Amino acid sequence: MLVTKNAAELCVLLVNELYGQLPSRLMATLISKGRLTVPHLAHHTSLNHRQVRHGIVVLVQQSLVFTFTDQDSAVTYYEANVDGAYNLIRTGKILDMIDTKFGRPAKLLVHDVLLLGHAEIAEVVRRYKGERTSQKKPGDVDPCRNHVNGDGALSPFTDSEEPDPAGEAYNVLAQLIGLGFLESVSTMTYQSPQDFKSTVEQDVLKDFPNGVRGSKQASEYDTRLRERMREIRAERTSLKRELEMKIEFEPSAKRRKLLNGGASNGLTLTSGGYWLRDQEGHTVIRLNYEKCLVELRNQKLAEQVEDLIGDTTAHVYRAVLSALSRKISGCQADPSTMTDDELMGVRVKTGEVYEHLNPSVDVSAGIGTASEDEIDIRRAEKIRRYPPETKGSSLRATLEEGDELMASDDEDYDHSAETGNGSAVNGSRESKADVVNGDVSPRSYRLRWMRQHLLILAESKQGFVRHCGSDEWTVDFSPLLQHLRYLELDTMIEETFGRQGLRLTRILREKGKIDDKTLPTMALMRKPDVHVKMAEMEMAGFLDVQEVPRDNNRAANRTIFFWFFDEERTLKRTLDNTYKSMVRCLQRLEVERRKKRNVLSVTERKDVKGMEEEKLRGDVYNEYIQFLELEKKLLGQVSRLDDLVAIFRDF
C-alpha cells in the first residue's frame, strides 16, 4: 500500500506508543518494503526468527497486518494494515462515544476487546467479571450502578439486588454486536481488500472455463461477482443480523431504553443475551472501526446543527442519524457489497426517528413563534425526491422533475390543533393542558413538535435533512461532508492568506478556471494585488495555473494564464501536512518524556501510582503536574488534527 512518508512515520509512532519497539520496527519494514515473509522480515530488520514471530503475533492480534498464504507453496506473507494502525489514534474517542451512547459497562467491555485485539465472547465475559469483582470491595456500591446510561441516570438496582456481571456482559455484548459496533472474526477478516476481491474473482471465474468473452458474459460475470460478494458479506454478518432481530423484537419500552443509551439491569438475560450465551460463546469478536466511524460522523454533524440551529434541533438530528445508522454499515462502503437499501438510499420514517429520540428532550423548545398566515404550508412540506447537486461551495437544491409539493405527509399531524388553546404548530410552547405531571406532551404532540424540527433541518441552507417522500426522511452525506471540507479549508486559507485569499479561492471554486485578466474584476481587487496573492497561494499548493499559448513562440504576452482550484490535490496536500503536524506532536511528547524520565519512573511505582500528591515531594510533584499539562495539550492537539483527517479522508 502506497502511503506518504509522513503517514508512514505516524503509523510507526502510534504502534510504538502502544505496543513497543519490536512491533513498530516490523511495521516500519512492512510499510517500506511491502509484502514480506518471516525470513525476509528477519533479514531486513536484523532480528532472529523468534523475535520476528513474536512481533508478528502482536500485529496480527491487533489487526495491524494483513496475511496472505500462497496455496502452492504454503508460504504466508504479511502486509501492513496502515488504516488499522492509524485507527489506534481514535481509541479514546471511540471509548468516549461508547460510554455516552451505551453506558459504562459497554465502555469496559469495548476496552477489553481493544486490549485483546480479538477474543472469544466467553473470554471477554470472564475478564469483565474479574474486573467487576476486583473493583468492588465489601460494602462498596457497584462501580457501574450510577452509570447505566450515557446521561448518568441511576441504575434500577435496589440495595437488596446485586447485578449479575456475566448476564450484564452478555446483554451489552448482544446489543453492541447487533448494532454492528463489534463484529465476528473469520479467516477472511485478515485478508487485504485487494486479496479478498481477487479470491472472489478467481472463485467466480471457475464458472467460466473458457474465460469471459463478449459483453454478455462480461455482464453475467459482473452480476455473479456482486452476488458472491454479497453472499460472503451476509455470512460474515449473520451473527449481527440474528442479534439485531432479537433486539428488534424486544418490548418497545426496553428497546427504546437500549437505543437511547440505557443498559440492561443485568439481573435477567434479555433474549439477545440469552441466545448469545447459549449459542455463540466461543465466537471470536473484535471492534468494527467502520461502524464506529459512522457514529463519530454522526457526532460531528450533530455538533454542526447545534452550533448553527440549536440544542433541541440537534437532539432531533441525532435521532435521525441514529435511525439511519442502523441501516448503514460504513462511511465509505463498497458498492459491490452494499445491500439494495443502501444502493437506493437509506430512508427512515417519522415513527422510526421518534423511537430513537430521547424521551427527556423537550421538543417544544427551540422553535420560533409565527402566525398561521405567515407560513406557506405547501413550501414547508416540500418533498425532494432527488439529492441536491453540488457545485463549488454551494448546494443546488432546486426542484427537479418529479419533485412534489404536498400539504402534509404525517398521519399524526393534525392542522386543526395548530391554533388551539392559543398555541401555534410552528413554534409556540404547548399549553398546560398538554403537560401531564410535569412531563412533556403525549406521543401525538411530541411527534408534531419533533416534525417541526425535521422541517427546519430540511429547510436549512446546508440541507441537513431531505424530505424525500411521504413520511420519509434521509440525509445526503456527500454534499454535507463536502460543505464541512470547504469550511475547514476556508478557515485554513483565511488564517494563512487573509480575507483576500479566501475571496479569490471561493471565486475559483465556484466558477472554475478563470483568466488572470478577468479575475481582478470579479474579485474587486487591484491587478498587482491579485497576482501577488495568487502566486503566494500557488507556492503553498492551494491554487494552480494552466498556461495556454496563443502561438508557437510561447511568449508571456501571448499566453493566457488560467487559474483554478484543484480540490483533490489540495486535500491530499493538506492531509499530508496534517500527518506531519501529528508526527511532530508525538515526537515532542517523546522528548518531554525523556526529559522527565526520572520523575515518571517514580510515578510508575505501585506504591506511588494513584497517590502521587501524598507520596511525592513538592518539587517532584510540581514537575509531574507540569508534564501532565504539557502531555494533555499535545494529545489534545493530535485529537483536533485527527478531526481534520476524518473530515478530509474518512467521513
**112 has a pLDDT exceeding 90:** yes
Is 5-80's fold the same as 482-565's? yes
**Cβ contact 466:458 at 8 Å:** yes
pTM value is: 0.83
Per-residue pLDDT for 431 more than 80?
no
What is the structure's pLDDT at 373?
Answer: 66
Q: Give the chain's count of helices (H) and strands (E).
A: 27, 15
When mean pLDDT is compared over 118-127, 252-261, 371-380, 386-395, the highest value belongs to: 118-127
Residue 274 vs residue 565, higher pLDDT? 565
In the chain, where are the structural domains located?
5-80, 88-287, 296-475, 482-565, 570-650
Over residues 532-559, the pLDDT tens digits come to 888 888 888 888 888 888 888 777 777 8
Q: Which fold has domain 482-565?
A: Arc Repressor Mutant, subunit A (1.10.10)
pLDDT at 437 (0 to 100): 46
Closest CA to 17 of 622, 578, 582, 645: 582
Task: Tell me the pLDDT band of 137, cut-offs 50, 70 and 90.
Answer: low
Q: Can you tell me the distance from the alpha carbon of 403 to that of 281, in angstroms, rounded to the nearest whole number?
A: 51
Q: How far apart are alpha carbons 487 and 336 in whole angstroms?
A: 32
Q: Compute the average pLDDT of residues 398-404.
A: 44
Q: Reduced to 3 states, what is the DSSP secondary structure of residue 562?
A: strand
361-370 pLDDT, tens per residue?
888 887 877 6
Which of the four pLDDT bands, split at 50, 70 and 90, describes residue 376? Answer: low
Tell me what pLDDT residue 408 has: 45
Q: What percent of the chain has pLDDT over 70?
A: 80
DSSP character string of 8-19: HHHHHHHHHHHH
The pLDDT assigned to 2 comes to 66
466: left (phi over 0), alpha (psi -120 to 50) or beta: beta
Strand pairing report for 389-391 and 394-396? antiparallel
- Annotate 386-447 with three-state secondary structure: CCCEEECCEEECCCCCCCEECCCCCCCCCHHHCCHHHCCCCCCCCCHHHCECCECCCHHHHH
Tell me, what's the pLDDT at 440? 45
Residues 45/52, Cβ–Cβ less than 8 Å: yes
pLDDT category at 631 given cuts 50, 70, 90 is very high
Task: Report the distance separating Cα 81 and Cα 65, nearest Å.
Answer: 5
Instruction: Give the model's pLDDT for residue 424.
Output: 40
Angle 343-486-88 (CA atoms, 0-180°, nearest 5)? 70
Give 224's pLDDT tier (boundaries 50, 70, 90): confident
Mean pLDDT over the full length of the chain: 81
pLDDT at 256 over 80: no
Confidence of residue 58 (pLDDT cuts 50, 70, 90): very high
Model pLDDT, residue 415: 43
Tell me which of 329 and 453 has the higher pLDDT.
453
8-12, 126-130, 452-456, 464-468: which has the highest mean pLDDT? 8-12
Which of the two residues, 37 and 343, has the higher pLDDT score?
37
Residue type, 464: F
Q: How sure is the predictor about 214, in pLDDT bands with cuts at 50, 70 and 90?
A: confident
pLDDT of residue 296: 95
Specify whether the CB–CB gap between 604 and 612 falls below 8 A.
no
Which CATH number does 5-80 carry?
1.10.10.10
* The Cα angle at residue 55 between residues 11 and 184, in degrees rounded to 5: 75
Q: Which of 203-212, 277-286, 371-380, 431-440 has the lowest mean pLDDT?
A: 431-440
CB 355 within 8 A of CB 250: no
pLDDT at res. 346: 84
pLDDT (0 to 100) of residue 410: 44
